[in-house]
Structure 1
């Protein structure tokens, strides 16, 4: 593999990963923001847990980890995905006088927009979990369902990130996995997801419920439906089209914003056409 081919591979991979996890990571975080408002209503939120901390503090660690994740992506000195000065001049000229943080916030908003359009699928997962908690006599079923569903959303984002790395390995088998993970590892929310589930376990200690086959099936189905919505090309690119309009101020001109929207629409249609071609052999 030549140096030029290697560079092209990483440019393509960067675009692909940023497009996908821009939705899944940030949509998952929006689910967490929805959930925390409910979680704070639980009587155990201020209760002490092992180690001398509180349940609330264990959730705060998740938020601290998310801030650290953002700082790594924005301010890192290597593998800089949001450093405007590194951008190809042709791509850079579409944006106005914005900062790296502005550029990151624009990217993160893809997921926030996607979450708003797919939120019924998240609340459907919450409802399936709520019904299971209620069936097992849980007094605070809705609160625990929100916390659990948000943790599942974070796990989903981690799973999709890992699948994106696996796709890179399949496309360019000459490149070792460790190089893909070292280059794009900052996009993984695995640490955030682990902390969230630890906090959830503090909120709901001894949570070994024996779910029925029907309950398991419904929850797995809800998770799969949410996943399908978040990786659907319509969600991936329509969220970018809508966000471009909502963040029109990041573009140099209104014309550049419209041009970006057209490019997103063309990418959406191309991916959809390729998927149909594969589907029909």
Structure 2
């Protein structure tokens, strides 16, 4: 059974930890990330980008997820990340995923609110949760986003729009960015605290790759209960593949399954310490009881 993204994040908020929300690229990275969650008995949100959905297909990705998570001892949700395209949302709603992030940050506020309310109504009718982003998190990821801050609102506005639209989770700008950091970001955990005082909806931190354990702890203490990780997976995946290919070239031995093992081990190894830093390890059973 696919878990509810909002239910997992609410449990995290209530118990002082954040659920890892990890972007995967294929069945290899999917199984590696799930293995990390099982190893640590942590709840998990598997995320897929619009780019991945378009390249692989909703039907195949859904089947891969269901196969990889069947008979698990940990709750796992399936989430569409950063999607401004309503047609892609239509596909994953029909496929019965856990949730979608409707990214309306490129719209003006009136349009963003109207369309978010429409997506919420559509998703809720099918049993899906909606994460809302109306002010953009800086950075381009898998072709979605902007390196310029397009829209910014007060925490009061964010809470009010969420109330009116019925969104289940909120993704505010918190000083983080997508991709790898080239300079130390100016982080805003106090903004989380202000928003958490106005709404009981789970608050999501985007751009988690590259932050320190102390950074994560500050955000979680302030009220963040879902933390997104994408770049760490891509870097671990590609570096492991490159290292394997270097050795294969030297030895003139070409064995794809052995490269797959190296890549999977690298991805799992990159995610395990993050799950621990988020405080999610050991919470799988408690979540399962709470959301049953």
Name the one with the larger strand percent: 2
Q: TM-score, normalised by structure 2?
A: 0.25
Structure having the higher Rg: 1
Q: TM-score, normalised by structure 1?
A: 0.25
Higher relative contact order (CA 8 A, sep 6+): 1
